[in-house]
C-alpha cells in the first residue's frame, strides 16, 4: 500500500514530514492541500484532520495526523537511518527541541515575523510593524535557547534527528526576513548547523517554490 502525505510543500510541518520520508528513503505520494484556498476545510480533509490542518498521513490503512507522531512513525516503521537517538538523554533533548520549535519558535518566527514581512506583502497588504517586532523579539529568544541546546555538528549530535527536521523549514522562512536572517546569522552554532543541513539532498528537494 502506498504512503500518502497530505499537505502543501509550502507548509513547514508538511515539509518536516516530507524531510523524514526523504531521509528514510521511503517511496511516497504527496497530495497537495492548499490551505490558502480553503482546501483544509473540505469534508474529505476534515475526515483526515479534524482541525483542517496539515500534514495528514496514511500508510497501509493506518491514518495519522500531528507532525511529531507522523515523523516518529516514519522513523520506526521503515528501514533506513535512524532519526531518533538511541541514547535516552539525546532522545529527550530531541523531543525537547521539537517542543520548543512547536510552542515558541514557530509562533513567533512564522506566526508573527514571517507572516507580517513575507506573507502579508505577497497578498498585497501592509505589514504590522508592532506584530513583526514582537515576532522578532520572540524569535531571538528562541534562537538563543536553541543555540544553547545544540550539541555537536547537528542539534543532537553528529547524526540527523527529528529535531533537525523540525527546525529546518522554520529557519528557511525566517532567513527570508532581513532582521530574522541577521539574528540567525549571529548565532554561530546554528549558522554552522544550517550550512550542513541546507546542503542535504532532502532539504534541497523539499525546498518550497514560492511566487
Q: Using one digit for the tens of pLDDT, what is the confidence trace for 42-100? A: 999 999 999 999 999 999 999 999 999 999 999 999 999 999 999 999 999 999 999 99
pLDDT for 172-199, tens place per residue? 999 999 999 999 999 999 999 999 999 9
Looking at the structure, tell me whether residues 185 and 106 fall in a common domain: yes
Same structural domain, 184 and 94: yes
Q: In this structure, what CATH number is given to the domain that contains residue 54?
A: 3.40.30.10
Same domain, 65 and 96: no
DSSP letter string over 138-149?
HHHHHHHHHHHH
Q: How many domains does the chain have?
A: 2
Domain extent for 68: 3-77
CATH code of the domain in which 127 resides? 1.20.1050.10
Q: Are strands 3-6 and 29-31 parallel, antiparallel or unpaired?
A: parallel
Q: Is residue 44 domain-shared with residue 20, that is, in the same domain?
A: yes
Rounded to 5°, the CA angle 91-196-200 comes to: 90
Amino acid at each position: 500500500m502506498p504512503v500518502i502525505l497530505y499537505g502543501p510543500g509550502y507548509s513547514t510541518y508538511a515539509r518536516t514530514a516530507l524531510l523524514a520520508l526523504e531521509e528514510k528513503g521511503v517511496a511516497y505520494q504527496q497530495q497537495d492541500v492548499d490551505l490558502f484556498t480553503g482546501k483544509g476545510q473540505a469534508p474529505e480533509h476534515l475526515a483526515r484532520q479534524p482541525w483542517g490542518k496539515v500534514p495528514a498521513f496514511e500508510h497501509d490503512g493506518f491514518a495519522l495526523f500531528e507532525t511529531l507522531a507522523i515523523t516518529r512513525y516514519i522513523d520506526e516503521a521503515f528501514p533506513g537511518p535512524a532519526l531518533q537517538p538511541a541514547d535516552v538523554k539525546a532522545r529527550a533533548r530531541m523531543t525537547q527541541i521539537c517542543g520548543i520549535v512547536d510552542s515558541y519558535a514557530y509562533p513567533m518566527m512564522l506566526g508573527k515575523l514571517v507572516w507580517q514581512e513575507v506573507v502579508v506583502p505577497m497578498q498585497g497588504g501592509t505589514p504590522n510593524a508592532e506584530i513583526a517586532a514582537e515576532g522578532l523579539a520572540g524569535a531571538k529568544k528562541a534562537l538563543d535557547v536553541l543555540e544553547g541546546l545544540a550539541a555537536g555538528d547537528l542539534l543532537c549530535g553528529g547524526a540527523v534527528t527529528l529535531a533537525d527536521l523540525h527546525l529546518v523549514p522554520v529557519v528557511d522562512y525566517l532567513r527570508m526576513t532581513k532582521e530574522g536572517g541577521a539574528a540567525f546569522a549571529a548565532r554561530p552554532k546554528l549558522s554552522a548547523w544550517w550550512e550542513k543541513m541546507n546542503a542535504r539532498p532532502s532539504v534541497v528537494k523539499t525546498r518550497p517554490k514560492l511566487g
